[in-house]
Structure 1
């Protein structure tokens, strides 16, 4: 469902509901969720909790909201969390840990957003009255700024074991968890077994108009539900959006491998273009990070010229751009994307 005249690779959030998804949205059974009476939301929460192997779930409006619901449930003002310096919670959520909860972030320098358990040694605070109290280790799967890398299961197990042995909670920002599962070969339940709370997003690779989910224990989800209300996320007849998520879980998970194949194909073709470079080892899911040679010019300029060619991508720093494949990008339009990159790279900066 590509807009006429352009190919939008800025994000997998730009997808539009298919006619079939629109039909289930229109026909959804609804009620007041604040009274626990929306049957479609209730079904979705139960299904996702079971799928991820947790006791309970809370439907949220967005991934940021569900991440912050988790931190509110885990932390008190003055606490701190450990997370990678490129992670979405730190980089793209407007300082919400501090703004909403009075929680500080201690940053880990991982590789492509993935860090090792031994990198956490010596990072726990709280033994001295001058220090904040470390409460949570946060993991992002897949890593957005890391180029869509999935966490290896063993690496995550080691981090989670390290955290739990020190009485720290583990939260997973799994906005693209299903992409990670498709690429790495584990199930959502296998990965989430080692996490205390997990957030997943329906409006990225799964193609829903909105919605996210937080899962965990019943006591934690009771606290998270209160946080959702505090953040203005009380939902009334939200079953229509929940219906889109149920449809996506049924129809749009397995097809993520097509997005991954499209991203790989584009990466291999674009990597051959002079002035552009790609770490092909990092291309595992639907995100491709492309570095532009400094002698050509800046990412902002490259993005501007690509747009003139009918291809939309995002600048990801001064010399990098990101493209993201998704269900609205059919395979037959990919050669046109490569042609646009070739045209722009061959042009002069001026």
Structure 2
């Protein structure tokens, strides 16, 4: 019988509602969300719009739906989206932009998921009838496959300015924007100031069971509402899950700094053990990768042995693992996971 997972570091989506969050959900005031009558959803939308410095916001079931609705609003079939080659929208959303919006990607190679304004300018197509139309620049804050790297606000502003100068929209995949805000010491609105659309995920570091909130101008939101209904994102008494989001923003936002510290501690403990190399070298938020290319065991073998101890890491490839800290793992548990990992990779 497989041992139950007791220390789950595969993703911050592994979080479960805390007792306080569950109480808030049970006691939520609700109505018909589809008819714009759910007071808790409306409160969450207003709160996130304010936090992101946008005119309006829209509660949705998932972050992937946020991205796809944004592309559907900004793009037409045959358009092109400029993004990092290791961006979530390019590699982990089922080719949704091409399947739904009919848009393709033009990717910018980058190790940490962050590119520069000059690279955007170089990627923008010259207007020609036989070429795709460059329509959107999409950034991911934090950059997941960049090891949770944080886009500097100055770089975000420069990228958005180049996009607008060429008539493109600027979109932010803000799945872990709250982590970036805490790590940078700047409010979320400072990160989204130059963007036409942005969103935050509620089901990652903030610890909610489901949901994300997409924000933009009132005009953008009118179009987004159309696509929300068409894609099946409209809900009924959604206040029960929106209440989790309000609770998380009040109680789980500032504590994201604890997750960042746990990730830094883990990186310091395991780097160099058995030939392991941690990426990034300087952990900024709650995500890090483990390069096992110099180890005797491959990632799947290590993961299997960790599972025997009730511990789970993510496996990205034969030589690469991912570790993500979150509110449901304590510092002591992170230390325990590191110790088991070290013993496994150093075994002869």
Task: Place the TM-score, normalised by the shorter chain, in its bin.
Answer: over 0.9
Partner of 1:57: 57
User: Conserved in 2, the CA contact under 8 Å of 1:197 and 1:215?
Assistant: yes
Shift of 1:73: 0.8
d(CA) in 1 for partners of 2:35 and 2:279?
50
Q: Please, what TM-score do these two structures have when normalized by structure 1?
A: 0.96
User: Conserved in 1, the CA contact under 8 Å of 2:147 and 2:279?
Assistant: no
Note the 1:162-181 alignment, pairs <5 A.
162-181=162-181
Partner of 2:317: 317
User: Conserved in 1, the CA contact under 8 Å of 2:146 and 2:280?
Assistant: no
* 1:187 and 2:163 are equivalent in the alignment: no
Q: SS of the counterpart of 2:273?
A: coil
Structure 2 unaligned runs (5+)? none
d(CA) in 2 for partners of 1:174 and 1:11?
16
Identify which range, 291-300 or 260-269, moves more after superposition: 291-300
Partner of 1:14: 14
d(CA) in 2 for partners of 1:244 and 1:335?
29
Partner of 1:149: 149
Shift of 1:218: 0.5
d(CA) in 2 for partners of 1:313 and 1:95?
26
Shift of 1:126: 5.8
User: Conserved in 1, the CA contact under 8 Å of 2:295 and 2:345?
Assistant: no
Partner of 1:210: 210
Identify which range, 61-70 or 299-308, moves more after superposition: 299-308
Partner of 1:46: 46
Shift of 1:342: 1.4
Partner of 2:247: 247
d(CA) in 2 for partners of 1:308 and 1:112?
32
RMSD over aligned CA atoms reads 1.4
d(CA) in 1 for partners of 2:211 and 2:142?
18
Identify which range, 282-291 or 321-330, moves more after superposition: 282-291
Q: Please, what TM-score do these two structures have when normalized by structure 2?
A: 0.96
Identify which range, 178-187 or 137-146, moves more after superposition: 178-187
d(CA) in 2 for partners of 1:200 and 1:49?
10
d(CA) in 1 for partners of 2:235 and 2:56?
17
User: Conserved in 2, the CA contact under 8 Å of 1:147 and 1:282?
Assistant: no
Q: SS of the counterpart of 1:47?
A: helix
Identify which range, 80-89 or 289-298, moves more after superposition: 289-298
Report runs of 4+ in structure 1 exceeding 4 Å deviation. none
Note the 1:1-350 alignment, pairs <5 A.
6-125=6-125, 127-347=127-347
Identify which range, 202-211 or 187-196, moves more after superposition: 187-196
User: Conserved in 2, the CA contact under 8 Å of 1:82 and 1:134?
Assistant: yes
Structure 1 unaligned runs (5+)? none
User: Conserved in 1, the CA contact under 8 Å of 2:157 and 2:193?
Assistant: no
Provide closer, same or farther for how the CA distance between residues 280 and 112 of structure 1 changes in structure 2, counting only shifts above 3 A.
Answer: closer
Shift of 1:275: 2.2
1:100-136 alpha-carbon deviations (Å, 9 max, x no partner): 1111000001230000111123322261111111110
Q: SS of the counterpart of 1:161?
A: helix
